Amino acid sequence: MPELPPLDHVRYLKEVLDLARQGQAAGSAPVGALLVDARGEVLVRGHNRVGQPQTPGRVGGASVAHAEMDVFFQVGHLEDPGSLTLYSSLEPCLMCGGASALLGIGRVVWATADPWGGSGRLLRWEDHPAMQQTHVVPIPDPELEREGARLFAPEARRAFPEEGWALWRARYPQETEGL
């Protein structure tokens, strides 16, 4: 696995949490994502658009319109994907994690674990054959993890079955209290 330059994970995770709030305000689940190059420049920003209509410039209105997929559809062909970092407010699902691997993204970083819908529940990231060339950095900042959990918890309560909600309550008892 090639060594990627260090980036300020906290800076980008704060931004994806802001993008998650934008998605929520637009009627979708609160998940945000962005793609950053090796110099630290943001190439593209996105958020969940499942609850928004499709437009000529944006995937939307479909179950695949997750924040990470919004980023990937916007950016198009990648010249050097191994030098890029994908930041997400929530641990990517199997679809988004798989897309990251298939595209050859060099690093994936997320603020908050998703104990129900995250790819790691079904297959540990480091065990996924396609993810062997991807450096995975889960939850580099505990405060941002809690912020992301508080933001997504109402969506988890609404969208996940009882088994999923139970996993969320077990992982994030304070953030899910009273929901």
Residue 69, both tokens: 């997929």
What is the distance between the alpha carbons of residues 98 and 47, in angstroms, rounded to a whole number? 18
Residue 27, both tokens: 């009627």
The partner residues of 135 in beta bridges, in order of sequence, read: 107
Cβ–Cβ < 8 Å for 63, 74: no
What DSSP string describes 111-159? EE--TTTSHHHHS-GGG-GGGTT-EEEE-S-HHHHHHHHHHHHHHHHHH
Give yes or no: 68 in active site: yes
Distances (CA, A) of 123 to 55, 63, 137: 33, 21, 16
What is the distance between the alpha carbons of residues 113 and 130, in angstroms, rounded to a whole number? 20
Strand 32-36 to 85-90 pairing: antiparallel
H helix or E strand, kind and range, residue 95: helix 94-103
Q: Which of 68, 147, 155, 175 is catalytic?
A: 68
Active site residues: 68
